[in-house]
Structure 1
Amino acid sequence: MAEEVAARRRRQPKPTGQPRRIPQQKRGRERFEKILSVALALIEKNGSDALKMSEIVEQAELSFGALYQYFPDKSSIIRTLAERFNEQGRACVEAELAGVTDAAALRLALCNIADQYYTFFRHEPAMRDIWVATQADRLLQQIDAEDMEFHAQALLSVLVRLEPERSKGELLAIARLTMQLLAAAVRYAISLDDVEGRSAIALYQRMLPADITRLG
């Protein structure tokens, strides 16, 4: 048995953080989604650090070969889940920033984004765990960096519209730091109990300047 396990480990591909392939056929897609569903439930129960491919195989009722056909390692599973969660966050940011026409509306939009992100993470413990995991795993840090740059670019488009005479480089620096601080505030808030967490978000919102476009 020990030799079989060792042999299986040797056959496993090196960690890439990427799914091997996304199936197009219905049967393969159903199997792909089942793997993600089982992994999400295990992360919610035990945390991402404790996620094991052997448990996914057992609970999804698959062979190791079937699992590795789609996901070569657990980082690729966590990455896929993180990217799906990020899609929801991006939709939130885009929706809030879409109607911004002045500095006051921008400040309100950022407050709303902080509120929605906090509520989302508070009610999705698995996502909260995955968000932390993307900070600790070098293979997953790229996901967070790409997501933060998306948010920064979305905010930049608003800043350019509100302050067309300003240097784009200067506005980009403001956009990047603003979104980083927002994410940091939410990360801190979800580390607290709910009452303290909501107070922390409220404090962050009060600290936002009345006119972010005038920074720099």
Structure 2
Amino acid sequence: MPGTPKALRPRKTPRQKRSAATRDRILDAAARVFVEHGYAAGTTNRIAEEAGLSIGSLYQYFPNKDAILLQLARRHVDQGRRAVAEALRSGLPGTWDERAALLADTALRIHDGDARLHRVLFEESPRPPALLEEIRRLQDALVEALAELLRADPPVRGAGPDAAGARLTAWFLVAATESLTHRYLADRPTPDVSAFRRELIALLTAYLHRPPHDGADGP
């Protein structure tokens, strides 16, 4: 992909089922290795051994472990894109309380999986501009969809935001959900995911139902 340094690009794009299966085998093995050993100790030798391949076979697909990590991160972003598309395609619920719950549930589904792998992918591994752009496009698509809905069906009746206000509100909803979900997975202040979900939905709904801003500056 344009914007990805050559050292982080896969060495070949599988065009046959067998090659695609081997690539996926490497990626799945890498995920397990990074979960168990972390970024620094997650070597290509360990990944090849976990995948049941020779190191030479692994290098036919990826030049180094950072290229493997990048593909794992891209796979995560693709899963997120599909989750958002599925949520929008299935039809949005009728109330903003239900929509806040859907936003929280979608974020948790996108980030479902091992928290350790998530930290390796998005806190320890390289993130070239091309990947950051993919993540930004995913977030922007959700912001725009929510902004359009906010203008058509404002949470506070008689106080529909203008285009700029709707986009800002939508951005706050997406950014808060994404950031808090990331921090929850990193810090695990409680092992009870349902408790985190309840608190996140409470925060989002309180924000949505806040009194309309009167336009005055200051606190």
TM-score (ref. length: structure 2): 0.71
Q: Answer yes or no: is the 8 Å Cα contact 2:143–2:170 preserved in 1.
A: yes
Amino acid at match of 2:37: N
Partners of 1:141 and 1:129 lie apart in 2 by: 21
Partners of 1:210 and 1:151 lie apart in 2 by: 19
Partners of 1:174 and 1:18 lie apart in 2 by: 37
1:44 to 16, 35, 38: 35
Partners of 2:17 and 2:58 lie apart in 1 by: 16
Is the aligned partner of 1:73 residue 2:71?
Answer: no
Q: Answer yes or no: is the 8 Å Cα contact 1:152–1:172 preserved in 2.
A: no
Per the TM alignment, residue 27 of structure 1 is displaced from its structure 2 partner at its CA by 2.9
Correspondence for 1:100: 92
Amino acid at match of 2:176: L
Structure 1 stretches lacking a partner, 5+ long: 1-13
CA shift in 2, pair 1:69/1:56, >3 Å: same
Q: Answer yes or no: is the 8 Å Cα contact 1:52–1:74 preserved in 2.
A: yes
Partners of 1:77 and 1:63 lie apart in 2 by: 16
Q: Secondary structure at the match of 1:194?
A: coil
Correspondence for 1:110: 100
Is the aligned partner of 1:210 residue 2:201?
Answer: no
Q: Answer yes or no: is the 8 Å Cα contact 2:79–2:110 preserved in 1.
A: no
CA shift in 2, pair 1:174/1:112, >3 Å: same
Per the TM alignment, residue 101 of structure 1 is displaced from its structure 2 partner at its CA by 7.0
Correspondence for 1:147: 135
1:176 to 167, 171, 175: 171
Correspondence for 1:90: 81
Is the aligned partner of 1:25 residue 2:29?
Answer: no
User: Normalized per residue, which structure has more helix?
Assistant: 1
CA shift in 2, pair 1:117/1:128, >3 Å: farther
Residues matched between the structures, number: 197
- Percent identity reads 22
CA RMSD of aligned residues (A): 3.3
